[in-house]
């Protein structure tokens, strides 16, 4: 009886220990990247619609982003979209535009420091754009998508 209980505990640990993950396999290099359940992602479908939300999986090997369910062949591009990263990007963009606006106001007032303020604001705004490029897309032309258990 004791051995039967140990066997049951071992089986439940292995069955419940398996976790589904979304794998992206590069077609040329074979490099594998993966997202697990609960990752915040930004996905664009083949038809061009954009969805941002938390990634989860259905029983029939489809992905679910918030309340929307997609087959793997509907994915045009997908990338990770952390909430903190998105907030930082928005803060940089807005503050850069405010600094540029301040520089324009200084220029209309005839201040000689206007050019420096505009240049600084432009740099901050460009920094927000560079942050967008750091987090790259996984495009269906270059990647094969599949769902596997870990």
pLDDT in tens, the chain (150 residues): 666 665 566 556 555 556 888 899 999 999 998 889 889 999 999 999 999 999 998 888 889 998 889 998 899 999 888 888 888 889 999 999 999 999 999 999 988 889 999 999 999 989 888 887 777 788 888 999 988 887
Distances (CA, A) of 57 to 3, 21, 26, 45, 132: 35, 8, 21, 17, 26
Q: Residue 48's Cα: distance from chain center in Å? A: 17
* pLDDT score, position 104: 93
C-alpha 104/C-alpha 95 separation (Å) is 14
Q: Cα–chain-centroid distance for residue 33?
A: 13
| pLDDT number for residue 143 | 92
Beta bridge partners of 75: 45
- Whole-number pLDDT of residue 101: 93
pLDDT at 94: 93
Could you tell me the two tokens for 24? 């992206």
């Amino acid at each position: 009886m004791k051995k039967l209980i140990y066997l049951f505990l071992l089986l439940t640990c292995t069955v419940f220990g398996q976790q589904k993950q979304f794998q992206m396999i590069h077609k040329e290099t074979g490099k594998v990247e993966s997202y697990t359940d609960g990752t915040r992602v930004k996905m664009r479908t083949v038809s061009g619609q954009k969805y941002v939300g938390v990634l989860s999986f259905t029983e029939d090997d489809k992905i679910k982003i918030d309340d929307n369910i997609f087959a793997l062949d509907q994915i045009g591009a997908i990338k990770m979209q952390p909430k903190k990263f998105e907030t930082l990007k928005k803060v940089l963009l807005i503050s850069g535009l405010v600094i540029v606006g301040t520089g324009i106001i200084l220029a209309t007032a005839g201040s000689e420091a206007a050019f420096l303020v505009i240049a600084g604001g432009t740099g901050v705004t460009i920094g927000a754009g560079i942050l967008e490029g750091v987090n790259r897309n996984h495009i269906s032309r270059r990647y094969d998508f599949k769902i596997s258990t870990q």
